Amino acid sequence: MCVCVVECQLGCFFSFLTSRWLRDNPSKAPSGDGGMDGGREGEGVEGDCGQKTRANSGLLILVPNPPSPSLTFLLRRPNSAEQANGLLSVLQKLKGTTESVELRIVLLGLDNAGKTTLLKSLASEDINTITPTQGFNIKSVASHGMKLNVWDIGGQRKIRPFWKKYLENTDLLIYVIDSADKKRFEETGLELEELIDEENLKGVPVLIFANKQDLATASPASEIAEGLNLHTYRDRQWQIQACSAVSGEGVQDGMNWICNNIVNKKK
């Protein structure tokens, strides 16, 4: 395939065609009041390329404007530098259409809330062999044109004091709650409240997954939201999403919320 670069002046091209046509058809050349000098029958019309046309007895004649250096149209083979620049331009455009928005996410919640299971579900990994997180896991998940760098930090009581050390430069907090463990609702609510008050999370959006909805004893997400007083969080975006990390139900809805409310604002 040959790539061509345009390089001759459009005005000269039209002038050449017009002169050739008039030479071959002298009897149809314009004259008198309807000629090139203008007249009532031949009002000038400005075209898209700055070419004027004059009509006389049904005849349409192109009158080129002075040549413009910006209009160029003859073919020649590009040199190696032009080929390289052209390829680079194409690659940059392709990169621009596929480039992901990158987010730093901290995944927190009490122990046994299902954080690691949720993370593996997001990454489409096997969830049959999961052990409690004693320290932290870091995983990059690509989804919806997003690159999510997720820090999954253990939720045991002895680890929670270290949560605040991982909050700097966080774009989103994902907080996971065991919807079926009503005895720990107060505890998880206090931990979430302390996180919201952290300076490094000031104004940071919060996505709360009300997990384990596949269990019969699970509380509805709306009830949990009321118990956690989420309506008082007026300094940030927040969303509570009912889900089951085991079945995957509701997980995709949470990802959609991230895409629509967080990612699109960063583009």
pLDDT tens readout for residues 42-54: 333 334 444 444 4
Helices (H), the chain: 10-24, 80-98, 115-122, 185-196, 221-227, 251-258, 264-266
Are 208 and 257 contacting, i.e. CB atoms less than 8 angstroms apart?
A: no
Beta bridge mates, 21: none
Structure tokens at 43: 């009002």
Burial label for 178, CB within 10 Å (0-12, 13-18, 19+), is: buried
Alpha-carbon separation of residue 204 from 50, 119, 211, 212, 241 (angstroms): 54, 20, 21, 25, 17
**Of 217 and 90, which is predicted with more confidence?**
217
The answer to whether 116 is a known ligand-binding residue is yes
Nearest to 236 by CA among 264, 261, 203: 203
The answer to whether 112 is a known ligand-binding residue is yes
Rounded mean pLDDT, 88-117: 73
Q: What is the Cα–Cα distance from 92 to 267, expressed in whole angstroms?
A: 17
pLDDT tens, position by position, 13-47: 445 555 665 566 665 555 544 444 444 433 333 34
**Of 19 and 105, which is predicted with more confidence?**
105
Structure tokens at 120: 């593996």
- Tally of CB atoms within 10 A around 258: 22
Rounded mean pLDDT, 149-166: 94
The answer to whether 213 is a known ligand-binding residue is yes
Nearest to 43 by CA among 63, 29, 25, 22: 63
Catalytic residue IDs: 156
Are 262 and 217 contacting, i.e. CB atoms less than 8 angstroms apart?
A: no
Q: What is the dihedral of CA 105, 110, 113, 115, to 10 degrees?
A: 20
Domain with CATH 3.40.50.300 in the chain: 100-266
Beta bridge mates, 206: 173, 238
The answer to whether 110 is a known ligand-binding residue is yes
Question: Which residue has tokens 């030479």?
Answer: 23
Per-residue model confidence (pLDDT) at position 101: 85
Per-residue model confidence (pLDDT) at position 17: 54
Are 176 and 113 contacting, i.e. CB atoms less than 8 angstroms apart?
A: yes
Beta bridge mates, 7: none
Q: Could you give the percent of the chain with pLDDT greater than 90?
A: 47
Q: What is the Cα–Cα distance from 231 to 228, expressed in whole angstroms?
A: 8
Determine if the pTM surpasses 0.75: no
Give the highest mean pLDDT range of 3-7, 30-34, 121-125, 254-258. Answer: 254-258
Beta bridge mates, 174: 107, 207
Taking the alpha carbons at both ends of the chain, their separation in whole angstroms is 36
**Range name among 30-34, 70-74, 122-126 with the lowest pLDDT average:** 70-74
**Superfamily per CATH, domain 100-266:** P-loop containing nucleotide triphosphate hydrolases (3.40.50.300)
Per-residue model confidence (pLDDT) at position 131: 75
